[in-house]
Amino acid sequence: MRLEKLFAGAALAAAAGTYGVSQYFFNRTMIRSNAKREKTQKMAGTNWDAYIPTIRASKEKLKQYAHEDIFITSQDGLKLHGTFFPLEGSKKVVICFHGYTSEGLNDYSTLALFYRSHGFNLMIVDERAHGRSEGTYIGFGCLDRKDAVLWIEEMIKYLGEEAEILLHGDSMGGATVLMTAGLLLPSQVKAIVSDCAFTSAWEVFQSVLKNSYHLPAFPILHTANEMVKKKAGYGLKDCNAKEEVAKTKLPILFLHGKADTFVPCSMAQELYHACTGPKKLVLIEGAGHVESCYRDATVFEGAIEEFIFPYFSK
């Protein structure tokens, strides 16, 4: 009897420990107010100090162009924000989706100038629970892809039926645009650029637990997943970008840094092989997470010019 009580006590302690770790993981990862950009940057292994002067200069230059705040309402009632930079006479627009714990203008100031120089209007989105968009729980692409469809519809309203739309996303934003690819999209969407996307929230968290915390996915991730379902309204396995890119015939450019320690480079290869439409995979030597466009702009921008731009009018 004493032995049974001992085992029961040990089991309860283990369960309580698992729940506590899962609760910490959920709070730290999923809730907007607790998800800190500095922590994410350390895990990603990219030395952003080297690029901050360039990013700041690009942001100041970008803000000199005419722009306006645009707000839309998500299907679940959140007020979502984006910054639109119009380019007179152009029907081309790139809708940009940023990474986890970031916001639109932080991730896209430099790339926005590149796209503008090639005749694109710019729609730089703050994803739900980021920047000036509302939301408590982060969507990790599963919820954001529904928002992406609304941004696409907004751009068609703004530019008209002749609009030509490019979706560009990095990290979580990359997963968002790839997950969006599997939905029934308007013909105005012409192509997708994905930089350092993950396959699914479940699989990237599994990788983070193993590589950053040296912890197994079971039972921590399983318990955390139930918390996500109950509080955030979706499951970490609800959407996998590998399955979504297999449904589309849109051309997709997959970009990934070979030295990415946050989202494994192998995920880009998995996504590329799963894709059934026109596709190109470019792996940037020595680049960490979402570092490629700064570390080797010639290769990064050259791939977009060579593979993506032919699908748009000149």
- 120-178: pLDDT as tens digits: 999 999 999 999 999 999 999 999 999 999 999 999 999 999 999 999 999 999 999 99
Any idea which residue has 């996307």 for tokens? 197
Of the ranges 7-16, 259-268, 280-289, which one carries the lowest mean pLDDT score?
7-16
Query: CB atoms < 10 A from the CB of 77, how many?
Result: 7
B/e letters for 54-76, b = 16+ CB within 10 Å, e = fewer, are ebeebbeebeeeeeeebebebee
Rounded Cα gap, residues 314 and 311, in angstroms: 9
**What integer best gives the mean pLDDT of the chain?**
91
What does the pLDDT read at residue 15?
Answer: 42
What dihedral angle (degrees, nearest 10) is formed by the CA atoms of 181, 240, 130, 254? -60
Within a domain: 174? yes
In what order do the strands lie in the sheet containing 252-257? 68-73, 79-85, 121-126, 92-97, 164-170, 189-195, 252-257, 279-284
Rounded Cα gap, residues 105 and 97, in angstroms: 10
CATH number at residue 69: 3.40.50.1820
Which residue segment(s) compose the domain that 40 sits in? 31-200+239-311
What is the dihedral sign for C-alpha 48, 49, 54, 57? positive
Within a domain: 18? no
- Number of structural domains found in the chain: 1
Within a domain: 167? yes
Within a domain: 76? yes
Within a domain: 57? yes
Within a domain: 7? no
**pLDDT (tens digit per residue) in 231-284:** 999 999 999 999 999 999 999 999 999 999 999 999 999 999 999 999 999 999
Within a domain: 207? no
Q: What is the pTM of this model?
A: 0.92
**pLDDT (tens digit per residue) in 20-31:** 888 988 998 999
Q: Is 282 helix (H, G, I), strand (E, B) or coil?
A: strand
Within a domain: 25? no
